[in-house]
């Protein structure tokens, strides 16, 4: 997809974080004239038993998940010629500031495109709605499977496809 000069690649398979055997790669690569950004999604649940203490502060669980992504993948993103942007979203709706910044950047690209028929607020609302629906779909899938023990072991950190 191209929005003006912003190119997005979802699940870029040729870029690896960590060693190649782990098969870990970013969820999205965004490239414009200035830089390459690697987005890695993490959905966390602030009401999970493992987050009782941290979850008392707004977006603290998302901030913790974003920090963990930085610790784990910043060096790999730099080695691949870009910058990591954790897309940390709480299952109850909150977005970490880096995820909001990335969304704002994408909205600005769309707004500057004369072929875009939507106003920036509409682009933003559609993006937020789409991501929210996918988060809820993932949570519903977990609930349907009755996969509570696996989710609890993971601290309710779900990765979107």
> In 10 A of CB 23, how many CB atoms?
10
pLDDT surpasses 60 at 42? yes
Over range 105-122, report the average pLDDT: 84
**Predicted local confidence at residue 159, as pLDDT:** 45
For residues 61 and 154, the model is more confident at 61
Q: In this predicted structure, what is the pLDDT of residue 67?
A: 96
Kindly report, residue by residue over 60-113, the tens digit of the pLDDT. Answer: 999 999 999 999 999 989 988 899 999 999 988 899 999 999 888 888 888 887
Q: What is the pTM of this model?
A: 0.75
* Distance separating alpha carbons of residues 41 and 66, to the nearest angstrom: 9
Report whether pLDDT(44) > 60. Answer: yes
């Amino acid at each position: 997809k191209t929005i003006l000069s912003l190119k997005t690649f979802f699940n870029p398979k040729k870029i690896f974080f960590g060693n190649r055997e782990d098969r870990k790669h970013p969820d999205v690569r965004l490239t414009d004239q200035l830089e390459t950004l690697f987005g890695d999604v993490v959905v966390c649940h602030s009401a999970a038993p493992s987050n009782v203490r941290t979850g008392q502060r707004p977006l603290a669980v998302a901030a913790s998940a974003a920090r963990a992504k930085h610790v784990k993948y910043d060096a790999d993103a730099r080695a691949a010629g870009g910058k990591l942007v954790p897309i940390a979203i709480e299952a109850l709706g909150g977005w970490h500031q880096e995820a909001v910044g990335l969304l704002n950047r994408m909205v600005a690209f769309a707004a500057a495109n004369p072929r875009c028929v939507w106003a920036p607020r509409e682009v933003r609302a559609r993006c937020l709605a789409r991501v929210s629906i996918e988060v809820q779909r993932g949570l519903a899938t977990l609930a349907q499977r009755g996969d509570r023990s696996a989710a609890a072991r993971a601290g309710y950190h779900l990765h979107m496809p």
